[in-house]
Chain A
Amino acid sequence: NAGVTQTPKFQVLKTGQSMTLQCAQDMNHEYMSWYRQDPGMGLRLIHYSVGAGITDQGEVPNGYNVSRSTTEDFPLRLLSAAPSQTSVYFCASASWGANYGYTFGSGTRLTVV
């Protein structure tokens, strides 16, 4: 099992550019979510999904879009990158009711200049 795979690991964008952060899991997990981590802020939820075709906003959704067309994939789209979106992004997945928490990807470090 690969677990949760995030690509790319590092990315530099110019203000106004768009891009998609990829996330894939091979564990057949129902739940998937995106978090951003900023110094002193912990991890904050951007968007989440409880299954294919179902997504919802988290705490900090502005400037980001998601879709969940398959169980395995949950891409995060930055529509028009801003310096405030410089952060480390984590994708995570979990199984309903399983006696463990989310499995996290290794993260994407994004810098917007």
Chain B
Amino acid sequence: AQKVTQAQTEISVVEKEDVTLDCVYETRDTTYYLFWYKQPPSGELVFLIRRNSFDEQNEISGRYSWNFQKSTSSFNFTITASQVVDSAVYFCALSEAGRFSGANSKLTFGKGITLSVRP
């Protein structure tokens, strides 16, 4: 069975600080996909990134970066120079590419990390 653990429940930082959100996953599959989603106070879920298990390259998108390490089963998310607009709940999620499922299949979510960025 697959599992995603987000051990941090709430993080509070001051604007312009860097912050890292941790994600640890468990899966028996060799092919799987990892995701991060953002849920701002308005409630919608916003896709941030998808990473497959064969690609351990770190990803950078503006102030956002992701560090995927298969050796530690982690897929951490760093926000550089945080801003008030980054305040949201962030979810890490995992999907397995089983026999009848494709790259986008049922997702298992972590419980989420509430990030508060104070001005």
Q: Residues of A at under 8 Å CB distance from B?
A: 30-31, 33, 35, 40-45, 48, 50, 58-59, 88, 90, 92, 94-104, 106-107
Contact = CB atoms under 8 A, between A and B. Distances in A.
Given A88-B43, A90-B45, A99-B50, 8 more contacts: A31-B104, A35-B109, A40-B111, A43-B109, A100-B50, A101-B47, A101-B107, A106-B44
25 contacts: A31-B102, A33-B106, A33-B107, A42-B109, A42-B110, A42-B111, A43-B93, A43-B109, A44-B109, A50-B101, A50-B105, A90-B45, A96-B103, A96-B104, A98-B104, A99-B50, A100-B47, A101-B37, A101-B47, A101-B104, A101-B107, A102-B47, A106-B43, A106-B44, A107-B43
A99 B33 CA distance: 10
B50 A97 contact: no
A43 to B, nearest CB: 4
Bin the interface of chain B by size: 20 to 34
Interface in B15-52: 35, 37, 43-45, 47, 50
Interface of B: 6, 9, 35, 37, 43-45, 47, 50, 91, 93, 100-112
B35 A101 contact: yes
Contacts of B91: 42-43
Contacts of B104: 31, 94-98, 101-102
Contacts of A30: 102
Nearest to B104: A94
10 nearest A-B residue pairs (beta carbon): A94-B104, A96-B102, A104-B45, A42-B111, A42-B109, A43-B109, A101-B47, A97-B103, A101-B35, A48-B106
B8 to A, nearest CB: 13
A77 B6 CA distance: 31
Nearest to B45: A104
B114 to A, nearest CB: 10
